[in-house]
């Protein structure tokens, strides 16, 4: 019976993006270059002329949030007896949550204040939190003419269970609901699920040719802003529903106030925090009761995500 | 360059006004107009070989929703955690908006007209102001000066700005007084106020510049309101019979008050029946002095 070559299976590959190794469920890369028919008075009803849009490289990566541990004691094989648990995170291994945090820290500062390279920009991201699973999806747009070619390498390794990412050996588990704290509306409430949406607002800029050069087929980008929105379902009693009603009295400005964040606990690398700021407004609140079910309120929210002193 | 640096993006700038701090506006434009006309001379060919340059002028304009900056007291959830710390959403006093600018500069221009010792600087040379009142309150201002006469346009680089949050003013934040009569009841769907300040341009010999010197002469205020109706006769009776209406024409947004005039003269009524709600558009000129 012939065997399929291992090189054709995704599990044997490691995704290295801009020098960082990512553990993902999926990596989906696409080159978008829309083509439209153009009809001319051409003596034929066939398709002879097309209009080709400028190209755009995007990739969507998704995966569970992870807690990983280096199983080699300080990375020194002879010290490793496999009896003393290591307290270190594996070097240079990341998940989608890291990518989101890293990109948000880029876009909330002015571009150009240092020599930071931006080979890609976060387009949008979603973090889903519930009882059964915590996962994240991020879509990034390449800023380079050849897409992700210069910053992406997919390395085949002998085994994902053994030696991967060079000499690092690790084990891990997915983040579960007891590993994170989500503080949205005043304090730590009893949540059944939450979705957090992150969007970086960008615009593509094209220029036409001049005396010296042609125009650009691959656009330049401007980063215009970022937004964090979402919704959360909270278990509550009916009288507490009133507390989430936020009205604007004439002439005054009311918001919900407190430190709001998502914190993922991780003993091996420290807490990772996605900070939403201190203020939010709920544009929609749905109170939901039914036979044999929990009394809940599903609350949408917009945060004031901004850079502060 | 794959990503434009942030100094290309207007959001990263602050408009620093010497009296009002940082003015928050959605758009800020500056236009240079140069009056150029072709001269046709007896010149041996029908083309254009000589131009006349009749001076240039600057026009700066701001357009933005008016903001509500006052902070509400109650806005936290305390049933779950009684010891939650309450912190006011920040709005630093160093920020203002286009409505603040209008109130300040209109007053300065009026002061200068009634008291010659009060000077109008180029940064106060307000030419037109429009306030559109509807679901939102929009304020457009135009100045007869260059952008850096009004503001020091500052790029914010590494240091974060002083914090602020605000919301846009809505219909429920606004009182639009169109009559002194407490019994004068009408539901206003929308309204607008136009303020035009007339300037005379002087081009002075020996100033060695093609930029004119402006002198404020007088100002005119007009407005209109759109109201719903079910009986057109009632509208005509209310507005057409007594075209001169004593008013304290003014706008209150939050706690900021713009006094506009004392009497209005109705100069047009447009009654419209259509497939939606019947509306009447009442326009008026204002005696403002």
Mutation target among B79, B82, B170 for the A interface, most CBs of A within 10 A = B79
In a domain, B180, yes or no: yes
**Interchain contact, B3 vs A304, CB within 8 Å:** no
Of residues B177 and A221, the one with the higher pLDDT is A221
Angle (CA) B105 B106 B110, round 5°: 115
Judged by CB atoms within 8 Å, which residues 239-258 of A form the interface with B? 239-240, 243-244, 246, 248-258
Q: Which parts of B91-208 fold into alpha helices (H)?
A: 98-114, 147-150
What span, in angstroms and rounded, lies between the C-alpha atoms of B91 and B22? Answer: 12
Interacting residues of A108 by C-beta distance below 8 A, sequence separation 6+? A226, A305, A306, A307
Task: Evaluate whether residue B78 is within a structural domain.
Answer: no
The whole-number pLDDT of residue A84 equals: 52
Q: Which residues contact A110 (CB under 8 A, 6 or more apart)?
A: B5, B6, B7, B12, B156, B157, B158
User: What tokens were used for A23?
Assistant: 């553990």
Res. A270 pLDDT band, cuts 50 70 90: confident
pLDDT for the residue numbered A49 = 87
Q: Dihedral of the CA atoms B186, B187, B189, B191 (nearest 10)? A: 40
Q: Is A201 on the interface with B (CB under 8 A)?
A: no
B114-131 pLDDT, tens digit each: 887 888 888 999 999 999
Q: What DSSP state is assigned to residue A77?
A: G
Determine whether the interchain pair A255/B75 forms a contact, defined as Cβ–Cβ distance below 8 Å: yes
Q: Which of A72-86, A144-158, A196-210, B185-199 has the lowest mean pLDDT?
A: A72-86
Query: Is residue B40 very low, low, confident or very high in pLDDT (cuts 50, 70, 90)?
Result: confident
Average pLDDT over residues B74-102: 69
Contact A256 B76 (CB under 8 A): yes
- Residues from chain B that touch A254, judged by Cβ atoms under 8 A, are 72, 74-75
Measured between beta carbons, which residues in chain A are less than 8 angstroms from residue B158?
109-110, 113
> Taking CB atoms and an 8 Å limit, are B85 and A189 in contact across chains?
no
Contact B81 A143 (CB under 8 A): no
- What was the pLDDT predicted at A73? 52
Q: What is the mean pLDDT of residues A224-251?
A: 86
| Among the ranges given (A39-53, A186-200, A218-232, B65-79), the one the predictor scored with the smallest mean pLDDT | B65-79
What is the bridge-based pairing of β-strands A49-52 and A35-38? antiparallel
How many residue pairs from chains A and B have C-beta atoms closer than 8 A? 133
Report how far residue B89's alpha carbon sits from residue B70's, in angstroms, rounded to the nearest whole number: 9
Which among B4, B157, B159 has CB closest to A205? B4
Task: Report the C-alpha gap between A264 and A275 in whole angstroms.
Answer: 11
Domain span holding position B22: 6-34+53-71+84-287
Per-residue pLDDT band at A81 (split at 50, 70, 90): low
Who wins on pLDDT, B225 or B263? B225
pTM, 2 dp: 0.83
Tell whether the model's pLDDT for residue B258 goes beyond 70.
Answer: yes
Of the pLDDT bands very low, low, confident and very high (cuts 50, 70, 90), residue B248 is: confident
**For residue B48, what are the contacts with CB-CB under 8 A and spacing of at least 6?**
B38, B39, B40
pLDDT, position A95 = 92
Q: Kindly state the average pLDDT of the residues A44-54.
A: 87
Question: pLDDT grade, residue B87 (50/70/90)?
Answer: low
Given pLDDT bands bounded at 50, 70 and 90, which one contains residue B1?
A: low
Chain B residue numbers touching A251 (CB-CB < 8 A): 68, 70, 173, 253-255
pLDDT of the residue at A59: 95
Given a cut of 50, whether residue B28 has pLDDT beyond it is yes
> Closest partner residue to B4 among A113, A119, A221, by Cβ?
A221
C-alpha torsion sign, points B78, B81, B82, B87? negative
User: Is residue A277 very low, low, confident or very high in pLDDT (cuts 50, 70, 90)?
Assistant: confident
Range A247-256 average pLDDT: 84
CB pair distance less than 8 Å for B68 and A304:
no
B79 in any annotated domain: no
Q: Which A-chain residues 136-165 have CB contacts (< 8 A) with chain B? A: 143-144
Q: Which of B3, B75, B86 sits opposite A220 (nearest CB)?
A: B3
Percent of chain A at pLDDT > 70 equals 90
Residues of chain A contacting residue B88, judged by C-beta atoms under 8 Å apart = 257
Q: Tell me, yes or no, whether B48 lies in a domain.
A: no
Of the candidates A143, A188, A257, the beta carbon closest to that of B2 is on: A143
Q: Which residue of B has its CA nearest to A219?
A: B2
Residue A14, pLDDT score:
79
DSSP designation for A179: G
- What pLDDT is recorded for position A168? 62
Residues of A in contact with B97 (CB under 8 A): none
Interface touch A111/B71, C-beta < 8 Å: no
Question: In chain B, whose CA is at the least distance from the CA of A142?
Answer: B2
- The partner residue sitting opposite A250, judged by closest CB among B78, B166, B172, is B172
Which of B2, B5, B80 lies closest to A187 in CB terms? B80
Look at A124 and A281; give whichever has higher pLDDT: A124
pLDDT computed for residue B53 by the predictor: 86
Q: Do B89 and A257 touch (CB under 8 A)?
A: yes
Answer yes or no: do B80 and A255 touch at CB < 8 A: no
Chain A residues closer than 8 Å to B76 by CB: 186, 256-258
Please state, as a whole number, how many other Cβ atoms lie within 10 Å of the Cβ of residue A91: 13
Q: Which pLDDT score, from 0 to 100, does residue B132 have?
A: 94
pLDDT at A120 over 70: yes
Q: What is the pLDDT of residue A161?
A: 43
More confident residue, A306 or A197: A197
Has residue B89 been placed in a domain?
A: yes
Is residue B228 predicted with pLDDT exceeding 70? yes
Tokens standing for residue B235: 């509208």
Q: Residue A60 above 90 pLDDT?
A: yes
Tell me which residue in A110, A249, A251 faces B157 most closely, judged by beta carbons: A110
| pLDDT score recorded for residue A62 | 96
In a domain, B267, yes or no: yes
B46 part of a folded domain = no
Answer yes or no: do A257 and B156 touch at CB < 8 A.
no
Q: What ipTM describes this predicted complex? A: 0.77
* B135-147 mean pLDDT: 94
* Degrees to nearest 5, angle at CA B63 with B99 and B156: 90
Q: Rounded distance, CA A235 to CA A238, Å?
A: 10
- Is residue A85 predicted with pLDDT exceeding 80? no
pLDDT > 70: percent of chain B: 92
Mutate to test the interface with B, among A54, A103, A110, A232 (most CBs of B within 10 A): A110
| pLDDT of res. A158 | 53
Q: Could you say which of B3, B68, B75 has the minimum Cβ distance to residue A251?
A: B68
pLDDT band at A242 (very low <50, low <70, confident <90, very high): confident
Least-confidence region, from A154-158, A167-171, B111-115, B209-213: A154-158
Distance from CA of B175 to the nearest CA of A (A): 10
**Number of separate domains in chain B:** 1
A306 to chain B: nearest residue by CA?
B163
CA distance B222 to chain A (A): 26
Q: Is the pLDDT of residue B284 over 80?
A: yes
- Residue B1 in domain: no
| Nearest residue, CB atoms, B79 vs list A223, A240, A304 | A240
Most confident range, picked from A172-186, B20-34, B242-256: B20-34
């Amino acid at each position: 019976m012939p065997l399929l070559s291992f090189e054709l299976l995704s599990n044997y590959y490691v995704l290295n993006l801009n020098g960082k190794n990512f553990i993902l469920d999926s990596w989906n890369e696409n080159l978008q270059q829309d083509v439209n028919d153009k009809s001319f008075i051409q003596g034929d009803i066939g398709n002879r002329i097309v209009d080709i849009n400028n190209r755009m490289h995007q990739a969507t990566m998704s995966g569970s949030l992870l807690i990983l541990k280096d199983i080699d004691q300080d990375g020194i094989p002879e010290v490793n007896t496999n009896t003393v648990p290591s307290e270190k995170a594996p070097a240079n291994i990341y998940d989608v949550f890291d990518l989101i945090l890293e990109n948000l820290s880029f876009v909330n500062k002015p571009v150009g204040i240092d020599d930071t390279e931006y080979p890609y920009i976060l387009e949008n991201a979603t973090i889903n939190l519930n009882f059964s699973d915590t996962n994240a999806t991020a879509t990034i747009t390449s800023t380079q003419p050849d897409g992700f070619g210069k910053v992406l390498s997919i390395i085949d390794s002998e085994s994902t269970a053994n030696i991967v990412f060079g000499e690092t050996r690790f084990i891990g588990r997915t983040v579960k609901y007891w590993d994170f704290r989500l503080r949205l509306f005043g304090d730590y409430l009893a949540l059944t699920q939450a979705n957090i949406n992150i969007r970086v607002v960008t615009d593509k800029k094209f220029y036409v040719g001049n005396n010296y050069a042609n125009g650009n087929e691959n656009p330049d980008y401007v980063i215009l802003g970022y937004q964090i929105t979402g919704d959360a379902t909270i278990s509550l009693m009916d009288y507490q529903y009133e507390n989430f009603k936020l009205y604007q009295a004439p002439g005054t400005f009311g918001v919900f106030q407190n430190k709001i964040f998502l914190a993922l606990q991780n003993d091996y690398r420290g807490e990772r925090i996605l900070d939403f700021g201190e203020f939010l407004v709920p544009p929609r609140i749905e109170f939901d009761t039914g036979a044999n079910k929990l009394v809940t309120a599903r609350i949408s929210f917009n945060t004031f995500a901004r850079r502060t002193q | 360059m794959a990503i434009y640096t942030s100094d290309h993006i207007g959001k990263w700038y602050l408009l620093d006004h010497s009296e009002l701090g940082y003015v928050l506006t959605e758009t800020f434009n500056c236009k240079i107009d140069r009056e150029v006309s072709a001269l046709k001379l007896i010149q041996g060919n029908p083309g254009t070989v000589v131009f006349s340059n009749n001076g240039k002028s600057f026009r700066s304009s701001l357009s933005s929703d008016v903001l509500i900056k006052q902070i509400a007291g109650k806005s936290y959830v305390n049933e779950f955690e009684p010891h939650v710390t309450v912190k006011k959403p920040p709005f630093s006093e160093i920020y203002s908006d286009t409505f603040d600018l209008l109130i300040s500069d209109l007053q300065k221009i009026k002061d200068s007209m009634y008291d010659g010792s009060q000077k109008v600087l180029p940064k106060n040379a307000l030419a037109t102001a429009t306030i559109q009142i509807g679901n939102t309150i929009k304020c457009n201002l135009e100045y007869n000066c260059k952008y850096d006469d009004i503001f020091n346009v500052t790029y914010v680089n590494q240091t974060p700005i002083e914090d602020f949050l605000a919301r846009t003013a809505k219909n429920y934040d606004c009182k639009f007084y169109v009559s002194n009569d407490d019994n004068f009841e009408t539901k206003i769907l929308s309204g607008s106020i136009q303020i035009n300040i007339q300037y005379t341009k002087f081009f002075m010999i020996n100033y060695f510049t093609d930029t004119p010197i402006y002198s404020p002469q007088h100002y005119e205020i007009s407005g209109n309101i759109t109201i719903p109706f079910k009986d057109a006769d009632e509208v005509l009776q209310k507005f057409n019979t007594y075209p001169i209406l004593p008013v304290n024409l003014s706008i209150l947004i939050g706690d900021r008050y713009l006094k506009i005039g004392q009497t209005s003269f109705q100069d047009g009524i447009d009654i419209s029946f259509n497939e939606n709600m019947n509306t009447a558009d009442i326009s008026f000129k204002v005696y403002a002095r």
